[in-house]
Structure 1
Amino acid sequence: MLSAGHARALLSLEDPEAQDRLATRIVAEGLSVRAVEEIVAMGEEGPRRTPPRGPRATSPALHKLAARLSDQFDTRVKVDMGRSKGKITVEFASIEDLERIVAVMTASETASSPG
Structure 2
Amino acid sequence: MQDKEEERSLINVEKRLNSEGFTADFRVKDGRLHTISEESAKSYAPDEVTIVDFYRFEGESDPSDMSILYALETSDGARGTISSAYGTYGDTDALEFLKQVEDLGKNLDKSHK
Give the TM-score category using the shorter length: under 0.3
- With CA pairs under 8 Å and 6+ residues apart, which has the higher RCO, 1 or 2? 2
Question: Who wins on radius of gyration, i.e. which is larger?
Answer: 1
Normalising by the residue count of structure 2, what TM-score does the alignment of the two structures yield?
0.22
Structure in which a larger fraction of residues adopt helix:
1
Structure in which a larger fraction of residues adopt strand:
2
